[in-house]
Structures are given as structure tokens and as C-alpha cells.
Amino acid sequence: MKKVLPLFFGVLLAIVITGCLVKGIFNPSHLGINSDPAISLGAKSLMGSYSKLFSEKYLCRDNGNGNLFYSVDSTMPSGQFVPGNPYSGKLTSYVAMFSVLYNPDYFRTIWDCADGSFTYYGACPPKNLQWPYPCTYQYSDDVFLSEFVPVSDFQKQNPDTLWAGDRKPKGVSITTIKKIVGAYLEDKNGFINKNYPLLFSNKKSALGIVCELELNNGELLPCYLLNNDLTRRTDTAGTSHVLWKN
């Protein structure tokens, strides 16, 4: 009997742990946006800004007919831009935004020094602009796009091109998102490294970062974070702005 009890409790513990893993209780995404050291400070800053846009507090303007523009400004931590980028190693303001009608399933990230570069897209300019250069065309108007694509949808499509103009995997409608529960880099044995190894290992690519979203209906939805930098399966170089991984 003494030998049976430890075995019984060991089996019971294994069942409990397995159940928790299945339900996602021990999923690393539940530890929050800032928990995974494999994700860069720049990526965490961006995800923190995106998560604020789910609140009515950040409604920037209402152009009528349901065309609402949400935007939030922040500052990119030093050293988070790609080496060689003119902003690398410098503190630089940026604005994250989306439009309910014009870009309902992706975020636009803008950094610039001129108010008109933000209002052009419907965003509000930064309240306290940090800009490391004279406000000239040479150092202005950089923009990139990001979206959350459900893991299951992306794996079914397994696209060669992640983003080409309007042709891209469909992202989650931003107005259906309540919050970002957490984020983590997918395991090296996971889908992305097996199918997109060049992008998974590239710090300039966001591919491989998984964000768990809580939707307004209470559903928890794991999504890949995609952006329009390094858009092909075989990309090793090309346009890129931020370092997404450490």
C-alpha cells in the first residue's frame, strides 16, 4: 500500500499538469507581454501601444459615418531600431493607430517630426515629441504595418508571401479585441521555425512571436504577430525598421 500511494499521487499530479497545459493555464503567454526575454524591448513597446488602442480613451477623431481613428503615442527605447537605421541608438517618438473603416484589421506605426505626417493618416501627433534630428525630409515619415493573424488560420494557409500590398493573411478585427493577455516566442520545434527558418532566426522579422488575445466575447485566441517588413519566406535582408527579437 505504501508503494501504491506515491504512484497514485504521481499519476494524479501528471493528469492535473497535463490538463492545465491543455487549458493554457501554464502557457507562457499568460505571463504577460513583458515576460519573454526572447522578445525585444522594441517589440514589447509596440505591443504595449497596440494594446492601449482597444480602449475608447484613445479615440483620436471621428470623421462621421462610423469612421473612427484611434491613436496612441509612445517612445521607442534606445537601441531597438535596426542597425544602420538613422534612429538606431536614439530615443524617438512614434504613434500607433488604426482606422475602423480604412484599416480595421491592422495597425499603422508612424514616426516623424511633422504633425502633418500623423494627421495625414488620421492619427493625433505625439503630445511630447522626442526627435533626435532637425525636422527635415531626410529624417522623416517612416511607416510600417502590423496585424494579429490566428495561428490556426496562418498554419492552414502557410503563405510564401506574408504581405504584398493588400494581399496578406486576414488579421483579427481590432474592434473585437479586448486585450493582449501575453506574448512569447514560439518554440524552435514549432511551426514557424520548421516552415520559415530564415525569418524565425532573423531579429528583424516579427514572425514567430505569438500573442494571446482576449476577445470581447471572452474567447482566448493565439495569434502570430505579422508586419510588412521582410515579407517573403526566403527573405534574409530587405526593408526592416525594428528589432523584434533578442
> Of 78-92, 126-140, 167-181, which one has max mean pLDDT?
167-181
Q: Which residues, other chains included, contact 25 with Cβ-Cβ below 8 Å and sequence gap of 6+?
A: none
User: In the prediction, which pLDDT does 22 show?
Assistant: 37
Where is average pLDDT lowest: 74-78, 84-88, 201-205?
84-88
Q: What is the pTM of this model?
A: 0.84
Q: What is the mean pLDDT of residues 19-34?
A: 51
